[in-house]
């Protein structure tokens, strides 16, 4: 069973909470989807609403995640032969762990797999890949960006694209293999080679490692690699 999972939250910090969740399930050729708005007791700040367009009024009378059909489905199918697919899937799993979900299956991280298999991309956000790889041409319904169900739909198309380049078994392995990045995808050195910056502005890279606690794992790995020469 494949479960394509996407969450929207009150923010990106450890204390932030889930406000919506969507899954698209593929099981023996049958495809089903589920979507829920949830209220985990944390106010949605305007900055988060500006991204996913979920407001506090929309979740005011919604249930806790543990009282939803999706929670029941995930628990009922929490087995070693289940595969959850997500874009930066560890973030999603951590958020589920925070509300008591102890996942027992396998995971595929399409973010990391894309970095391994399509190194020529300048950026790897889900919506960037949607247009970079022309995934939108496969869309049978209008997909809304930063809507959990819409993103889960794009995620499924991305997985199918990657499956043409690899196998599910390889993707399971690549999801845990760190990527050596060549260029910066953000900040004042966007598009510049990390190796070049390690020689001309070493202090900036050292500052990133010491001060940016939420630094992407692959970028942290790459910076350390080039600093060590």
Of 19, 43, 15, residue with least CA distance to 148: 19
* DSSP string over 104-141: -SEEEEHHHHHHHH-TT-S---HHHHHHHTTGGGG-SS
Collapsed DSSP state (helix, strand, coil) of residue 90: helix
User: Which whole number is the average pLDDT over 3-29?
Assistant: 95
Res 18: pLDDT: 97
- What span, in angstroms and rounded, lies between the C-alpha atoms of 76 and 71? 9
User: Which whole number is the average pLDDT over 49-63?
Assistant: 96
Per-residue pLDDT of 109-157, as tens digits, reads 999 999 999 988 878 999 999 999 999 988 877 778 889 999 999 999 9
User: Which whole number is the average pLDDT over 153-162?
Assistant: 97
Asked whether the predicted pLDDT for residue 221 surpasses 80, the reply is: yes
What percentage of the chain carries pLDDT values higher than 90?
83
- What span, in angstroms and rounded, lies between the C-alpha atoms of 186 and 184? 6
Domains delineated in the chain: 2-174 (3.30.420.10), 179-229 (no CATH)
Res 46: pLDDT: 96
Res 52: pLDDT: 95
- What span, in angstroms and rounded, lies between the C-alpha atoms of 229 and 226? 5
pTM score: 0.90
Asked whether the predicted pLDDT for residue 161 surpasses 90, the reply is: yes
Of 27, 57, 64, 28, residue with least CA distance to 43: 57
String of b and e for 158-167 (b: at least 16 CB within 10 Å)? bbebbeeeee
Res 227: pLDDT: 95
List helix spans (H) across 133-174.
Answer: 148-163, 168-174
Per-residue pLDDT of 76-89, as tens digits, reads 999 999 999 999 99
- What span, in angstroms and rounded, lies between the C-alpha atoms of 43 and 56? 7
Question: Which two three-digit tokens encode residue 120?
Answer: 């020529």
């Amino acid at each position: 069973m494949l479960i394509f999972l996407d969450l929207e939250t009150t923010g990106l910090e450890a204390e932030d909470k889930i406000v919506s969740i969507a899954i698209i399930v593929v099981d023996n050729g049958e495809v089903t989807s589920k979507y829920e708005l949830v209220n985990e007791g944390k106010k949605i700040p305007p900055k988060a609403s500006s991204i996913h367009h979920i407001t506090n009024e929309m979740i005011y009378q919604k249930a806790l995640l543990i009282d939803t059909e999706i929670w029941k489905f995930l628990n009922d199918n929490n087995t070693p032969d289940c595969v959850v697919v997500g874009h930066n899937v560890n973030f999603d799993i951590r958020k589920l762990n925070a509300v008591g979900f102890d996942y027992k299956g396998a995971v595929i991280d399409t973010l990391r797999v894309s970095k391994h298999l399509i190194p020529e991309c300048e950026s790897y956000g889900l919506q960037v890949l949607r247009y970079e790889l022309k995934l939108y041409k496969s869309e049978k319904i209008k997909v809304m960006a930063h809507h959990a169900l819409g993103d889960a739909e794009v995620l499924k198309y991305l997985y199918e694209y990657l499956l043409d380049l690899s196998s599910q078994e390889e993707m399971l392995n690549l999801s845990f293999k760190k990527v050596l990045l060549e260029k910066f995808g953000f900040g004042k050195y966007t598009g510049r080679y990390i190796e070049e910056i390690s020689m001309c502005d070493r202090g900036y890279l050292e500052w990133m490692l010491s001060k940016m606690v939420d630094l992407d794992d692959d970028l942290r790995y790459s910076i350390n690699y080039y600093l060590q020469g």
